[in-house]
Homo-oligomer: A and B are copies of this chain.
Amino acid sequence: MEIKATEQPSRVRAFRGIVTPMVTPLRDRDSLDVAGLERLVEHILGGGVHGLFVLGTTGEAPSLGYRLRRELIERTCRLVGGRVPVLVGVTDTAFVESVSLARYAAEAGAEAAVLAPPYYFPAGQAELLEYLRHLVSALPLPVFLYNMPSHTKLDFEPDTVRAAAELPGVVGLKDSSANMIYFHRLQTLFRDRPDFSLLTGPEELLGETLLLGGHGGVAGGSNLLPRLYVDLYEAACRRDLNAVGAYHERIMAISNGIYSVGRYKSSYLKGLKCSLACLGICSDFLAEPFHRFRAEEHAIIRTHLAELGLL
């Protein structure tokens, strides 16, 4: 029997707080670092985050085979055991694979699906909305839209989001565009819909997002320092501008340090996984087309970790 989106529990509707887009601990390109996954889940939940998101960009989902994705979903849901809602990325260029993965996730106990646009073909906004109409009704989980134009080539334009938010089951949006004008425009459009959650992706923008009415963030750095991002969230809730500023500066130090090593745009992901390995939490293996940092970058990351007081 299919679970209907509208019967879902309320933990992801009107969601507020910090979600960790979990890295996927890998032993090699097609097997999980199972012990690392256990340590990582406990490390993250120990920091008090409000949700866990697997198979996002930080989770390298598009680079992972489907068997592995299913194993990761099943193991993570079991490890989390309902302590926080688990969100699962179901973005795919193929409609039927998104449905299949979402069904698996629902059965495993996940509480929401996260969906970026199909990322090969250049769809128009009207086509994108029609795609959402068809797909969302076929998904057994509430859906967060995921705006990620740098990787998908395609924005969810504000009018498209507004229309999609009328579909039963669409509960919020994660914006990773790093375009705060876009984000503020969505906030204005959704002023009358406090149940529709607006979350920011880049952690460098978390401070301002929360100070100006955003509902939360999906912060990659909370794999490493979950408490820092929760602290920032809580400082923003109590309107403590000085504390928010201080946490924001620490996040910028992480960003300018750990995420800025090496030549490529993948520095963030490599720096994050390398740091987790340095701290003994999980393996730093990355699936192709990436690879882990080699000795030289590894040493620089260790220096940054030391400067941040983490070693």
Interface centre among A212, A241, A265 (most CB of B within 10 A): A212
Q: Least Cβ distance of A149 to chain B in Å?
A: 11
15 more A-B residue pairs beyond the given contacts A63-B120, A64-B94, with a C-beta to C-beta distance below 8 A: A63-B94, A63-B118, A63-B121, A120-B152, A122-B150, A122-B266, A123-B264, A123-B266, A123-B289, A180-B204, A184-B248, A184-B255, A187-B252, A213-B245, A241-B241
Interface members, chain A 176-204 (any B CB < 8 Å) = 178-181, 184-185, 187-188, 202, 204
* Contact flags A276-302 to B (C-beta < 8 A → 1, else 0): 000000000001111100000000000
Do A123 and B290 touch across chains, with their CB atoms under 8 A apart? yes
Segment of A76-84, A128-136, A216-224 in the binding face: A128-136
Q: Which of B68, B178, B212 contacts A207 (CB 8 A)?
A: B212
Decide yes or no whether A228 CB sits under 8 A from chain B. Answer: no
Q: Which of B57, B64, B120 contacts A62 (CB 8 A)?
A: B120
Residues of B within 8 A of A62 (CB): 93-94, 118, 120-121
Residues of B within 8 A of A264 (CB): 122-124, 127
Q: Least Cβ distance of A117 to chain B in Å?
A: 7
- Count of residues in A whose CB is under 8 Å from the partner chain: 69
Given contacts A180-B178, A212-B248, A252-B185, contact A290 B63 (CB under 8 A): no
Decide yes or no whether A253 CB sits under 8 A from chain B. Answer: yes
Do B127 and A289 touch across chains, with their CB atoms under 8 A apart? yes
Residues of B within 8 A of A255 (CB): 181, 184-185
Decide yes or no whether A11 CB sits under 8 A from chain B. Answer: no
* Contact flags A17-58 to B (C-beta < 8 A → 1, else 0): 000000000000110000000000000000000000000010
Seen from chain A, the residues whose Cβ lies within 8 Å of a Cβ on chain B are 29-30, 57, 60, 62-68, 93-97, 100, 117-124, 127-128, 130-131, 134-135, 150-153, 178-181, 184-185, 187-188, 202, 204-205, 207-208, 211-213, 239, 241, 245, 248-249, 252-253, 255-256, 263-266, 287-291
Residues of B within 8 A of A253 (CB): 188
Complex CA gap A256/B162 in Å reads 14
Residues of B within 8 A of A287 (CB): 94-95
Complex CA gap A290/B127 in Å reads 6
Given contacts A65-B94, A93-B63, A95-B29, contact A121 B151 (CB under 8 A): yes
Residues of B within 8 A of A288 (CB): 95, 118, 127, 130-131, 134-135
Residues of B within 8 A of A265 (CB): 122, 124
Do B188 and A202 touch across chains, with their CB atoms under 8 A apart? no
Q: Which of B67, B117, B130, B187 contacts A291 (CB 8 A)?
A: B130
Given contacts A188-B252, A241-B241, contact A30 B96 (CB under 8 A): yes
Residues of B within 8 A of A94 (CB): 62-66, 287
Q: Least Cβ distance of A91 to chain B in Å?
A: 9
